[in-house]
């Protein structure tokens, strides 16, 4: 017996849990499953509205009293590296980029484990095993690529330095997750991968590079604000971030629209029925 998937996406809300970016706050996410023939179109459409992908789920922060998390993207045509970013490019010029399909390898997992153990030993991903890592890389219903950055020694041996999991959207590259050799921290490989993918997007004619969330007040997110031609998704529109201090992280009970209003205000692909009523929303 054949069963068709529903054409109207079902949206859910996670239960509150401690925020990983701002101490003393609780985070909550609005999310929907990414599946079926509409997966790629949904990913393209909702990414333009501040959503991010994790495996077969699209999500966006929807905290009860805080809207500090802002989706960020670089406008490729107007981007110009700073002096320090040009130094990062020169420092890593020996690395070779290799683009592969979304397939996990032992070398990637070894590098991933070293990265987590050194930088995020207490984070939510700290206990991920090889099977969960493979799922993170391979479980994707959209056009996804793995970008490996490696050095080659005089004997031809290849040493993996950094990896980035990237979605190819209709208007840009979306950096889903990246990790690197923690012993090379001085090389600023996180920033280098962003710079390289801006160059790649420019080469293939894509106008944006999506960086995930920038969180004012979170030191671990400060580096994203250092890229020029940066836009953030704020109050339902993409706005140029000319001054990071213009975006605050203060909490307020009226700062966030009710969940039902958030969902009904979403723009969906033309092939998906709309508008969405509040009824599909559930808390998990």
* 264-277 tens-digit pLDDT: 889 998 766 544 44
DSSP string, the chain: ---PPPSSPPEEEPPPEE-SSSTT-EE-EEEEE--STTHHHHHHHHHTTT-EEETTEEEEE--SS----EEEEEEGGG----HHHHHHHHHTTT-EEEEEES---HHHHHHHHHHHHHH-TTSTTTT--HHHHHHHHH--SS-EEEEEEEEE-TT--EEEEEEEEEEE-SSEEEEEEEEE-GGGGGG-HHHHHHHHHHHHHHHHT--EEEEEEE-TT-GGGGGGGGSSSEEEEETTEEEE-S-GGGS-----TTSS--HHHHHHT----TTS--PPPSTT-EE-
* 128-142 tens-digit pLDDT: 899 999 999 999 999
For residue 122, is pLDDT > 70?
A: no
* 227-246 tens-digit pLDDT: 999 999 988 899 998 888 77
Determine the pLDDT at residue 283. Answer: 38
- What integer is the mean pLDDT of 96-121? 92
Determine the pLDDT at residue 216. Answer: 87
The rounded mean pLDDT for the chain is 88
Determine the pLDDT at residue 247. Answer: 79
In the chain, domain spans:
11-68+249-283, 73-246
CATH class of the domain at 73-246: alpha beta
**Highest mean pLDDT range out of 180-189, 236-245, 249-258?**
180-189
């Amino acid at each position: 017996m054949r069963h068709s998937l529903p054409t109207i996406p079902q949206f859910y809300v996670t239960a509150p849990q401690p925020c990983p970016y701002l101490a003393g706050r609780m985070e909550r996410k609005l999310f929907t499953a990414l599946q079926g023939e509409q997966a790629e179109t949904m990913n393209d459409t909702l990414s333009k509205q501040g959503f991010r992908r994790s495996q077969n789920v699209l999500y966006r922060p929807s905290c009860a009293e805080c809207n500090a998390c802002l989706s960020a993207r670089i406008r490729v045509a107007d981007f110009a590296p700073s002096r320090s970013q040009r130094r990062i490019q020169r420092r890593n010029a020996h690395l070779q980029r290799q683009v592969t399909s979304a397939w996990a390898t032992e070398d990637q997992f070894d590098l991933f484990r070293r990265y987590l153990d050194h930088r995020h030993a207490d984070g939510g991903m700290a206990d991920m095993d090889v099977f969960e890592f493979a799922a993170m890389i391979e479980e994707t219903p959209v056009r996804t690529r793995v970008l490996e950055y490696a050095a080659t020694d005089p004997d031809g041996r290849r040493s993996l330095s950094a990896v980035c999991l990237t979605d190819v959207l209709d208007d840009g590259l979306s950096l889903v997750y990246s990790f690197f050799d923690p012993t090379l921290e001085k090389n600023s490989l996180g920033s280098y991968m962003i710079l390289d993918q801006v160059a790649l997007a420019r080469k293939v004619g894509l106008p944006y590079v999506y960086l995930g969330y920038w969180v004012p007040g979170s030191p671990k997110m400060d580096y994203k604000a250092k890229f020029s031609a940066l836009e953030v998704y704020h109050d339902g529109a993409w706005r140029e971030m000319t001054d990071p201090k213009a975006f605050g992280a203060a909490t307020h009970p009226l700062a966030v629209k009710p969940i039902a209003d958030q969902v009904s205000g979403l723009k969906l692909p033309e092939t998906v029925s709309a508008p969405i009523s509040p009824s599909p929303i559930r808390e998990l």
